[in-house]
Every structure is written in C-alpha cells, then in structure tokens.
Chain A
Amino acid sequence: MGTITIDGRKVEFTDEKNVLSIIRKAGIDIPTLCYHSELSTFGACRLCTVEDDRGRTFASCSEEPRDGMVIYTNTGKLKKYRKLIIELLLAAHCRDCTTCVKSGNCNLQTLAHRFGVTNVRFENYKERRPLDESSPSIVRDPNKCILCGNCVRVCEELQGVGVLGFAERGSDAMVMTAFDRQIATTDCVNCGQCRVFCPTGAISIKSDKDAVWDALADPDTRVVAQIAPAVRVAVGDAFGLPKGKSVMGKIVNVLHRMGFDEVYDTTFSADLTIMEESAEFLDRVKSGGKLPLLTSCCPAWVKFVDDQFPEYRENVSTCRSPQGMMSAVVKEYFRDPEHAAGKKTVMVSIMPCTAKKMEANRPNSYTKGEKDTDYVITTTELIEMIRTTGIYFADLEPESSDIPFGFGSGGGVIFGVTGGVTEAVIRRLAPNHTKATMEEIAECGVRKDGFIREFSIPYEGMEIKICVASGLANARKVMEQVKNKEKEYHLIEIMACRRGCIMGGGQPRLAGERTKAARTEGIYKADNVSVVKKCDENPMVLSLYEGFLKGKEHELLHNHEFCGK
C-alpha cells in the first residue's frame, strides 16, 4: 500500500508486485517484450526502464514498489535508450517484415514504429539458421528470435513441459530444444502457447490455408467445415466487433461465401462426446473400471499423459474428441453414394488449437483407412483467410449452420471454456433440464475461479469427486497428487491451455485480461441463449443414434487404441 509519483502525478498502489503494473494501471502503455503478467519476471529486454528523481534508471518490471517513489517514464534519456534497444534487436533480426506471417501482429514491429526506428545502423553478423518445420502445429524460425525467453518460460512454467531452453551464451545464445533436436521429436505437446507468447515471428502456426484454398477451388470436392465452440468468440474483434461476442452466424455466412459446401458445428459432436463419455464414465464407476477417468478432448493433454504419465494411458477416455467424432461421422455419412453424389469429401476443421493439427494426423484419427479430418485451420488462419477474400465480415448477415450436423446444445458450446466438458457431463447426469437445475449445476463448483477446481456432486447416493484443471503445469500438479495417492477423484477434466480452448494456441494473439474475460463470458452467453441445454435433448443427436449411427457407435466415436501422438 502506498503512493508513487509517476510523471508528476500521484498514483496509489495496493498489492502490485512491481512498478510496471502500477505504471500500466496509471494508463501508460510502457513498452515490454519479455514481460508477461502470467510468467516469472525475466528482465531481459530493458524496455520498461524508468528513471527516478535522482536520475537512476531501473527496469520497472523487476522493481518492487515503495511508498513515496518518484519516477519518470518518458524522459529524453529513456526515449533514447528504448530506441537504441529496438535498433540493436533489429540489427540481429531477420527483417523480412513484408513476408513475415507475424507482420501487423508483431510486438517488435509495433515498437519499432512506436519509437520511430527508421534506420538500423548496425550490420547483422548472425549466421542464418535453418527453420524447424518438423511439427505439424508450429514453425520455429530462429532467425527471428530476440531471446526474450517467453517461450522458454511459458513452456516450463505454465505448461510444465519445458522442451525449450537457452543454449550457449553471450552473442552465441539461442533458444533451442535439448541438443537442438527437431521439436516434433521432443515432448512438445503442440499446445502452441509458445507461439501465443512469442512477440515476433520466431514461432508461428504451421499453416494449412493453401491446401484448404485448393480444395475449395476443386469442383469435384465437397468441402465440409466444422467450427469449434471457442472459435466463435475470438473472430469478431479482428473485424471491429466487440470482444468475446459470438459471431457464429457470420462465420457460417463467410464460409458459405468462401465456397464451403457444408458448414457444421462442433458443438453437435461435443454433444456426441458427452453422450459417449458420460456412458463410459458411469460404466467405469459401476463396473469398477479404471478411475479416475481422464478427459480425451484435448490432444495436447492426451500427448502429455502419453509422455509424462504413461501409467495412466488406460485412464484416458476412449472417446474421440469432438473434432474426431464430427469428422468420422461426416465422412461416414458421405460414404453413402446417395449422399456423396459423386463428389469426394474433404473435411476442414476450424479450431482454436494448434494441437488439433497433430491430432488429425494421429494413427487413430483414421476410419476405414481414410483420414477423418483432412485439414485443421486455426482461428488465426480463418481470420487471415477471411481477410484474403476482402469480404466485409462485420456487415455479414448471420446464417445458420447446415443440417444434419449443425446443431448443438448449450452443453456443447461450453466445451470452449475450462470446466465446460464436466458441466455438460453433469447436465447429462441430471434428471431434468429445468432452469433451477441448470443454475444449481453452474453453482456446484465447476465454474469456480482458479485453474484447479475441486468439487463433488451427488449421484444416485454416491459422491462423485471431480477435478477440473487448465494449464498443463496445473495438470501435472493434479496428476502428481493422484499418483502419490494424496488425492482421489472419479473424473479429471484437463484442458492444456489456461482458461480452456478460448485461450488456445491457435487463437488470435495479444489477448489481454479483458479479452480473456470477454471470451469466457461470450461462451456462457451463447449457452444462455441455447434452446437445448443438454446433449440428450438435442433432437439431431437422438435421431442420429436411432438412424445411421446405429451399430457404428464404437467404430466412429471411440478410439480403439490409445494413441498420444
């Protein structure tokens, strides 16, 4: 508690951990490249340096606030320092901005503009290094790395994976995997959070846009899209619409205009997931099967189990993810010559997630020898594709998705946030769908604050213990406790990205606290306006089970063999 004087104005502070947060609270966007409120303080970029009343300069991210401090954030000296820092960073940087995928979305580029760095006086002595394109999800370009260490810290601190580190030192220092191995051969779970935190083009999404454009241009191909729940709340703000507002109808419209023949909603297959997963869960509980049941929707988490907790492979639900179920069902539907109408079907999955690209390539993502999901494009790539078309997205009229796989319940929509899968399971187990019951479920602890939520619900005289966690470092914590028998659960839901898929590795970058909250709110709002709240009341799901899915449930909706990668 206390007051500090920033540029001559008094600012009160309470429990801020550093001077930087107070400066930002005071309405000054102090520049940083290596600072992130969710990561440990690194103090490498020095851009947040401020000056005190005695002319002493220090990095505001690494300074604890003291009552009575007097600081200046924009003195001549500081402006000169900042400009020089940017200039030096650019000197050792691959400056192919015009063709860089991060252009327009790059923190380094933004700061260079902001500080008027129009000339770089120094030569680049860095040896050009090859790109690592081994991963299906991300591309690493070491020539664009500025050594801020964000990827190293997010991988270790938030995701508990830690495949990246600094190698060598001084001017030879580089970010790399151990022994500079190809990222695809490491324990990387493909979550893409490194790409979200990377301020430059050093880590970017492996793009599948070109393949999708080619499919769209082929008249003999039926191109089918499925749209994941979290996508709909992360597209609008790129086109000037309010943050977090669901723009599902506009996305359907734009996809139709782009040439997609069928546009389906992944909330439909999320409903299928809940039908299958709740049945599997009850079966395991009643027949003494392997517990806790671990959710299988998140491919980064499934790979994490495979790499880090192999003894729990059998605990992972056999259910395919909503992406996997939708693609398998759609492909099967169009295998019927009557539906196929002489066209080949290409399944394009639009996801908030980079790991889904890996999931689509897993050996168990094939049915009858055919790949279920042909291409996965992330929300970020979707936005880029919309921009390519030049369509005024904001002005589009909403359209409804296509039948028969375009309708999901509210329970399917909330898959986009942490706790959503569990809440949908609880809704399925609930005896009715009255407003009071739904509200009671929302209050049972599943929507609590925090990245690890523990609670229990009564079911047929039993107490079902549940843990919901997001962020793989938190998942590791939970799993260690389960392994050491400190904790016991019946059901564990894990989403690899903190807050769930709305903050997935394929979502648009530069999402601050407001955006995070707005996306969560947007998902719950979309649930609020859903007529059908639970999967077993989705008429399309029911007719599918009675119709062509009969006898094929196991083949199309389950993994026959555990497979993490």
Chain B
Amino acid sequence: MLDQSYYDKADEIIAFYGKKQASLIPIMQDIQGVYRYLPGELLTYVAEQIGITEAKAYSVATFYENFSFEAKGKYIIKVCDGTACHVRKSTPILEAFQKELGLSAKKHTTDDMMFTVETVSCLGACGLAPTVMVNEEVHPRMTPEKVLELIHELRGDSDD
C-alpha cells in the first residue's frame, strides 16, 4: 500500500490534465517524472479516475519501453544499441557498465538505488555513436574506459 501522499500527488497531476482517457499517457509520464517509476497502485488509481479499465491502462503502460513499474536509480543510464551505436561497439560499453555496477540483463538497478542501466534502440544521435545518456545528459563517443570515469564521477557527484 502506498503512502497517501502518492495519491495526493496523482490527484494533482490528474487535475492538471483533466479526467479524460486521452490524459493517460501525460499523467503516467508526470508520475514517473516525480517518482522515477510508475507505481502499479497509482496506475490502477489513475485508470479508475479517468474512466478506463485497469487492463487497458496496463496495456498502454507496458507497450512503451519508457514506463517502468520498478523503482529506478537516481541515475538512469541509457546505453544506445541502435544500428549505428551497435556497429561502433556499444556492447562492450554496456558490459562495462554492468560489470562495474554488478548488474545484468535481468537486474537493471543497483541495490543502493543509485544506478539503473538499460538499453535503448536509438537515441537519435547516431553521429555521436556510440552514445550513452545519463538522465537528460548525452555522453558521445563512449568507450569502456570512459564508462569507468563516468561512474566515478557520478559516484563522487552523489557524495556531495
């Protein structure tokens, strides 16, 4: 059971977009924006509030890779594995992240909730391949060495 504050926040977001079916995606985006994931209980709540079935809301939420029902880390690292990045060796970059952070294809988030590593199909920055995004920031022309530097930097950053 979620804390009441989650439902209050959801009410606020729902009020902003209006109780209509078309508001589903922006509401889910904003909720995920606040909590860095989409709590399942809130999806159920939103569906009921805007008058769609829970199954349909779940359908939309699982259709888009971007929505996650699992809590994500403070830093969401998206390793691009689109064609351009892949041929420019994005796989060793992903492996470097996973090895350094103790993650795998099944485990995406570190236990301390600091890092989440996932792949995306294209970031639209093929000229900068291989590309990585950390939250909203783009890191071009990555190498496995640069991965280690980046993690150290982020870890240091978070100590502040």
Tell which of B54, B55, B59 has the most Cβ of chain A within 10 Å. B55
- Asked if B59 and A165 sit within 8 Å, CB to CB, the answer is yes
Is B102's beta carbon under 8 Å from chain A? no
A298 vs B57: C-alpha distance in the bound complex, in angstroms? 29
- Asked if B55 and A178 sit within 8 Å, CB to CB, the answer is yes
A178 vs B42: C-alpha distance in the bound complex, in angstroms? 13
Tell which of A152, A162, A165, A178 has the most Cβ of chain B within 10 Å. A178
Tell which of A162, A163, A179 has the most Cβ of chain B within 10 Å. A179
Chain B 32-60 interface 0/1 with A at a Cβ cutoff of 8 Å (1 = within): 00000000100110010000011111110
- Asked if B57 and A178 sit within 8 Å, CB to CB, the answer is yes
Cβ of B59: which chain A residues have Cβ within 8 Å of it?
Answer: 165-167
- Asked if A165 and B56 sit within 8 Å, CB to CB, the answer is yes
Cβ of A177: which chain B residues have Cβ within 8 Å of it?
Answer: 55
- Asked if A179 and B53 sit within 8 Å, CB to CB, the answer is no
- A179's partner among B40, B56, B63 (CB-CB below 8 A) is B40
State the Cβ distance, B123 to closest chain A Cβ, in Å.
19
Cβ of A167: which chain B residues have Cβ within 8 Å of it?
Answer: 58-59, 62
State the Cβ distance, B44 to closest chain A Cβ, in Å.
7
CB-CB under 8 A for A165 and B63, given A178-B44, A179-B40: no
Is A424's beta carbon under 8 Å from chain B? no
A162 vs B83: C-alpha distance in the bound complex, in angstroms? 39
Cβ of B57: which chain A residues have Cβ within 8 Å of it?
Answer: 178
Chain A 167-188 interface 0/1 with B at a Cβ cutoff of 8 Å (1 = within): 1110000001111000000000
- B62's partner among A152, A163, A164, A168 (CB-CB below 8 A) is A168
State the Cβ distance, B115 to closest chain A Cβ, in Å.
25
Is A314's beta carbon under 8 Å from chain B? no
Cβ of B54: which chain A residues have Cβ within 8 Å of it?
Answer: 163, 178
A163 vs B55: C-alpha distance in the bound complex, in angstroms? 6
A167 vs B63: C-alpha distance in the bound complex, in angstroms? 6
Cβ of A166: which chain B residues have Cβ within 8 Å of it?
Answer: 59, 63
- Asked if B63 and A163 sit within 8 Å, CB to CB, the answer is no
Chain A 353-379 interface 0/1 with B at a Cβ cutoff of 8 Å (1 = within): 000000000000000000000000000
State the Cβ distance, A110 to closest chain B Cβ, in Å.
29
A168 vs B58: C-alpha distance in the bound complex, in angstroms? 9
Using a CB-CB cutoff of 8 Å, which residues 130-155 of chain B contact chain A?
Answer: none
- Asked if B56 and A168 sit within 8 Å, CB to CB, the answer is no
Is A332's beta carbon under 8 Å from chain B? no
Is A488's beta carbon under 8 Å from chain B? no
Using a CB-CB cutoff of 8 Å, which residues 137-156 of chain A contact chain B?
Answer: 152, 156
Cβ of B43: which chain A residues have Cβ within 8 Å of it?
Answer: 178
A167 vs B62: C-alpha distance in the bound complex, in angstroms? 6
Chain B 89-118 interface 0/1 with A at a Cβ cutoff of 8 Å (1 = within): 000000000000000000000000000000
Tell which of A165, A169, A177 has the most Cβ of chain B within 10 Å. A165
A166 vs B54: C-alpha distance in the bound complex, in angstroms? 11
- A168's partner among B40, B44, B63 (CB-CB below 8 A) is B63
State the Cβ distance, B64 to closest chain A Cβ, in Å.
8
A177 vs B57: C-alpha distance in the bound complex, in angstroms? 11
- Asked if A162 and B58 sit within 8 Å, CB to CB, the answer is no
Cβ of A176: which chain B residues have Cβ within 8 Å of it?
Answer: 55
- Asked if B63 and A178 sit within 8 Å, CB to CB, the answer is no
A166 vs B62: C-alpha distance in the bound complex, in angstroms? 9
A178 vs B38: C-alpha distance in the bound complex, in angstroms? 14
- Asked if A162 and B62 sit within 8 Å, CB to CB, the answer is no
CB-CB under 8 A for A169 and B63, given A162-B53, A178-B44, A179-B40: yes
Using a CB-CB cutoff of 8 Å, which residues 1-53 of chain B contact chain A?
Answer: 40, 43-44, 47, 53
- Asked if A164 and B55 sit within 8 Å, CB to CB, the answer is yes
A167 vs B59: C-alpha distance in the bound complex, in angstroms? 5
A178 vs B59: C-alpha distance in the bound complex, in angstroms? 8
Cβ of A178: which chain B residues have Cβ within 8 Å of it?
Answer: 43-44, 47, 53-55, 57-58
Cβ of A163: which chain B residues have Cβ within 8 Å of it?
Answer: 53-55
- Asked if A156 and B53 sit within 8 Å, CB to CB, the answer is yes
State the Cβ distance, B146 to closest chain A Cβ, in Å.
32
Cβ of A156: which chain B residues have Cβ within 8 Å of it?
Answer: 53, 56
- Asked if A162 and B55 sit within 8 Å, CB to CB, the answer is yes
Cβ of B47: which chain A residues have Cβ within 8 Å of it?
Answer: 178
B57 nearest CB neighbor, chain A only: A178
B55 nearest CB neighbor, chain A only: A165
B53 nearest CB neighbor, chain A only: A162
A86 vs B54: C-alpha distance in the bound complex, in angstroms? 32
B54 nearest CB neighbor, chain A only: A178
A178 vs B57: C-alpha distance in the bound complex, in angstroms? 8
State the Cβ distance, B2 to closest chain A Cβ, in Å.
15
A90 vs B58: C-alpha distance in the bound complex, in angstroms? 27
Tell which of B43, B47, B59 has the most Cβ of chain A within 10 Å. B59
A161 vs B58: C-alpha distance in the bound complex, in angstroms? 15
Chain A 239-272 interface 0/1 with B at a Cβ cutoff of 8 Å (1 = within): 0000000000000000000000000000000000
State the Cβ distance, B105 to closest chain A Cβ, in Å.
14
A174 nearest CB neighbor, chain B only: B62
Using a CB-CB cutoff of 8 Å, which residues 54-81 of chain B contact chain A?
Answer: 54-59, 62-63
A155 nearest CB neighbor, chain B only: B55
A177 vs B44: C-alpha distance in the bound complex, in angstroms? 12
List 29 A-B residue pairs with CB atoms under 8 Å apart, sorted by A's residue number.
A152-B55, A156-B53, A156-B56, A161-B53, A162-B55, A162-B56, A163-B53, A163-B54, A163-B55, A165-B53, A165-B56, A165-B58, A165-B59, A166-B59, A167-B58, A167-B59, A167-B62, A168-B62, A168-B63, A169-B62, A176-B55, A177-B55, A178-B43, A178-B44, A178-B47, A178-B53, A178-B55, A178-B57, A179-B58
The 4 A-B residue pairs with the shortest CB-CB distance, nearest first, are A165-B55, A162-B53, A165-B59, A178-B58
| Interface set of A (CB-CB < 8 Å, partner B) | 152, 156, 161-169, 176-179
Known: A162-B53, A162-B55, A165-B59. 12 other contacts (CB 8 A): A156-B53, A162-B56, A163-B53, A165-B53, A165-B55, A166-B59, A167-B58, A178-B44, A178-B47, A178-B54, A178-B57, A178-B58
